[in-house]
Amino acid sequence: MKYPKRIIPKFPYDEWENGTVVINKEPRRNIALYTKLENSKGYKRTTVSYARYLMSVSLGRKLKTNEHVDHINGDKLDDRIENLQILTPKENNLKAIEENGLGELFLTIRCGTCGNNFERARRNSILVNKFIESNYCSRECAGKRLAPSKILKEYRLDKHLGKYRSGRDYNPDPYTLTWDDVREIRKRFKIWKEDCPSIQELSDEYEISRHTVRSILMGRSWKEPVDNTRIIKYSGKIADIVFNR
Ligand SMILES: [Zn+2]
């Protein structure tokens, strides 16, 4: 299989004028994308994995951060489209566990800019301290950095257990609880009402243990913040940012 050196980027990367396919030291193929700047000799530049680029072109859309492109046969340089598939970070890690027997630490992080939760391998994260870190869900969000991101959970995928929530089968893409869910659970659990769900039903619906449901209902976990408005200084400007923890 021959791979081109220079390409004219296709949709959805057609905002870029030129691309050069390079092999990094891992080794994997990347594309350096360039656009000549107006009124200047310089270039705007970014890099994207060649496998991601090919998958995006074939799907006709850019991939989300949690869509990892996996080389099915394990050869990271075999970028034929039929050798590529999309996995979640966890599925991708499970595959690595099967191949190398290694479990990896993962973090669930709340993006400080857009507020969405995402998963990232701990080794790919920049840890500032245990709670605040400077990883953002996407390049767009990292460019803005409206507030620090927050680590919600750290866990290890384990070959032997294959699960990290007690009493449940391993779910490669578990649902992450949000404040909206917690408030909804508390609102719905009114034992005097006819349609009050049981703890087991809430546990199944939100993919959390019954113990967690009880902790939420009793206010032992997910304590409501007294004041969730903070003023954050960012590059000399003061921005008012309201964020739910
Ligand atoms: Zn974000």
Is 124 part of any domain?
yes
Compute the distance from residue 180 Cα to the ligand 1 centre, in Å: 18
Residues 61 and 112 both lie in one domain: no
Assigned domain for 166 exists: no
CA distance 13 to 104: 32
Kindly report which listed range (48-57, 136-145, 199-208, 225-234) carries the lowest average pLDDT score: 225-234
Q: What is the pLDDT of residues 26-84, one digit of tens each?
A: 788 999 999 988 888 888 888 899 999 999 999 999 998 888 899 988 888 999 999 99
CA of 115 to the centre of ligand 1 (A): 6
Q: Are residues 93 and 152 in the same domain?
A: no
How many angstroms does the Cα of residue 213 sit away from the middle of ligand 1? Answer: 28
Q: Report the separation in Å between the CA atom of 63 and the middle of ligand 1, taken as the mean of its atom positions.
A: 14
The pLDDT assigned to 231 comes to 47
- Within a domain: residue 161? no
Asked whether the predicted pLDDT for residue 237 surpasses 60, the reply is no
Same-domain pairing of 70 and 91: yes
CATH at residue 83: 3.90.75.20
Which residues are in the CB-under-5-Å shell of ion ligand 1? 111, 113-114, 137, 141
Cα torsion through 84, 88, 90, 92, rounded to 10: 10
Range of the domain at 129: 105-156
Say what the pLDDT of residue 133 is: 67
Rounded to the nearest whole angstrom, what is the distance from the C-alpha of residue 112 to the centroid of ligand 1?
A: 7
**Same domain (yes/no): 114, 191:** no
What is the rounded distance in angstroms from the CA atom of residue 70 to the CA atom of residue 79?
10
72 shares a domain with 12: yes
pLDDT of residue 165: 40
Answer yes or no: do 79 and 16 share one domain: yes
Question: Is 16 in the same domain as 95?
Answer: yes
CA of 232 from ligand 1 middle (Å) equals 17
pLDDT at 242 exceeding the cut of 80: no
CA of 111 to the centre of ligand 1 (A): 5
DSSP 8-state code for residue 108: E
The least confident of 92-101, 130-139, 223-232 is: 223-232
Determine how many CB atoms are found less than 10 A away from the CB of residue 179.
15
Task: With respect to residue 169, please indicate whether it lies within any of the assigned structural domains.
Answer: no
Query: Do 31 and 77 belong to one domain?
Result: yes
Instruction: Kindly give the distance from the C-alpha atom of residue 143 to the centroid of ligand 1, in angstroms, as a whole number.
Output: 10
Say if residue 114 is in the same domain as residue 86: no
**Centre of ligand 1 from the C-alpha of residue 125, in Å:** 14
* Contact of 89 with 102, CB cutoff 8 Å: no
Are 31 and 96 in a shared domain? yes
Q: Domain for residue 167, yes or no?
A: no
Most confident region among 55-59, 61-65, 163-167, 184-188 by mean pLDDT: 55-59
pLDDT score at 58: 95
- Judge if 216 and 234 occupy the same domain: yes
Residue 171 pLDDT > 60, yes or no?
no
185 domain-assigned? yes
